Amino acid sequence: MLRIVLLAGTALAAGMATASAQEFKLGVITTLSGPGAGPGTELQKGFTIGLKHEGWTKDGDKFAGVPTKVIWGDDQQKTDAGVREAEKLLDQEKVNVLAGIIWSNVALAVYPKAIAKNIPYVITNAGASQFAGEMCNPLLTSTSWNNDQVPEALGERMNRDKIESIYMLAPNYQAGKDMVAGVKRTLKGPKIIGEDYFKLGETDHQASISKVRASGAKAVFLFAPGGMGVAFFKNWQASGAGKTIKLYTAFTVDWSTLPAIGDAALGTYHTMYWNVDLDNPTNKAYVKDFVAAYGRNPSHYAAQAYDGARIIAAGLKAAGGKFQDGPALARAIRKAKYDSARGPYTYNVNGMPIQNFYLREVVKGADGKPTIVTRGTIYRNQKDAYWEKCPADKRL
């Protein structure tokens, strides 16, 4: 009798091990606490809608036809916390795909950890220039952009507006430097008369605004994601600087920050690869479900995270549900055709999207509240500026 019980226990344990081995584990790192939680929670909301559209709402549900567990990590907008979360997901949970990440400095710190595990690394926001160039890897796929691309498109708009001079404002970290580099790459004509790199997470911008006014600049370029941007607009409105100085922003005014910024954003321009008014069936269904779930329009942070969940599912389907071979799954994700909220687009050899960029303006809506409308296309099928630096043996 004892032998039968032991054999039964052994068989049960073997069955459980087999079942566990067949579970697809998806790790997602974002910023869920601290000053950067605004964009980070948007990422989580968009990714969650994407999971739902692929049939997953809870652990054990099938995602792309495979029983799946989703594990979230909070990087707190800190590189050391991001690395700890990545190590937990990679070493303890042994996730099959790592996704997410808002901040470029965190993504750069986590990157070698994911690559060393030889699994797909799907970035749904951070677009550090190194990822597009010398650090590119066939394991990496982005559903967002290279940092420089959005401000490059904005620089083209500034040229058309024939402004005389401009002052650059951005936080002092990798993305801030990339954003300013992007504007400079396409800006022709306006004289750059000053640059100010403020502390990441800064909430008091009065000193920066004073420097702008003292410089005599006719325009300002501002990159200030999340709460930094909301704080800037409060200082900007209180200073009255907007009466004489034109403001152009990147990753500052979006559908998640607009309610807090309010009328101070009226008349400002920014550029983006997506908006809620893009006319395609996937975007309409996505926006409808987001609004139903959260009571407002989604931001681009949520849209590209939604796409992240959808492209991982498409890759998993293309791989026949097989996920144990990380490089093979990464290739399937990069080559997968899926329904994106932005509409059809392709990938460059470095894993960066080749996509359109649109001009967006903040105007008063029919209800009297500020709204963001698309004002035309600045770039069609734009490639990032770094792809030729991607080593030949790392291209896919």
Q: Is the pLDDT of residue 6 over 80?
A: no
84 and 197 within one domain: no
pLDDT digits (tens, 9 = 90+) for 317-358: 999 999 999 999 999 999 999 999 999 999 999 999 999 999
Q: In the block, which residue shows the tokens 């936080």?
A: 171
pLDDT digits (tens, 9 = 90+) for 199-228: 999 999 999 999 999 999 999 999 999 999
**Residue 6 in domain:** yes
Q: What is the rounded CA–CA span in Å between residue 251 and residue 286?
A: 21
pLDDT of res. 21: 53
User: Which one, of 229, 188, 187, 190, lies nearest residue 208 by Cα?
Assistant: 229
CATH number at residue 203: 3.40.50.2300
Would you place residue 7 in the very low, low, confident or very high pLDDT band (cuts 50, 70, 90)?
very low
pLDDT of res. 189: 84
Count structural domains, the chain: 2
332 and 213 within one domain: no
Percentage of residues of the chain with pLDDT beyond 90: 93
Would you place residue 65 in the very low, low, confident or very high pLDDT band (cuts 50, 70, 90)?
very high
Average pLDDT on 158-172 reads: 95
Look up the pTM and report it: 0.92
247 and 337 within one domain: no
284 and 257 within one domain: no
pLDDT digits (tens, 9 = 90+) for 99-121: 999 999 999 999 999 999 999 99
251 and 178 within one domain: yes
**Residue 185 in domain:** yes
188 and 112 within one domain: no
Average pLDDT, the chain: 94
* Whether the Cβ atoms of residue 149 and residue 118 lie closer than 8 Å to each other: no
pLDDT digits (tens, 9 = 90+) for 174-188: 999 999 999 999 999
Average pLDDT on 261-272 reads: 94
Owning domain of residue 123: 2-145+278-351
Question: E strand or H helix at 43, and its extent?
Answer: helix 37-53
Q: Which residues have C-beta within 8 Å of that of residue 203, sequence separation ≥ 6?
A: 35, 227, 228, 231
**Residue 388 in domain:** no
